[in-house]
Amino acid sequence: MTRSLQNITLEALLTDLVNQFGWAYLAQAVPIHCFQNDPSIKSSLKFLRKTPWARAKVEDLYLTSAD
């Protein structure tokens, strides 16, 4: 299945990745502090909205993963 970023919020994208892979995998795939230490959707969204390179990595992970 091909994924698209069209009509999906960053929160929905991140929630889907967490449900599919879990925080431990995300911390390995995208090694950022908010995924590694006491991760939460809220703190991760705050960081990703301010950090374009990290957001791009998370979006790429989402696009290349399949259900």
CA distance 15 to 36: 16
- pLDDT in the model for residue 42: 96
Sign of torsion, CA 45 51 54 58? Answer: positive
CA distance 17 to 3: 12
Taking the domain 10-64, which CATH number applies? 1.10.720.30
CA distance 35 to 22: 10
pTM to 2 decimal places:
0.88
- pLDDT in the model for residue 67: 56
Percent of the chain with pLDDT over 70: 94
Q: Closest by alpha carbon to 36, among 54, 16, 20, 11?
A: 54
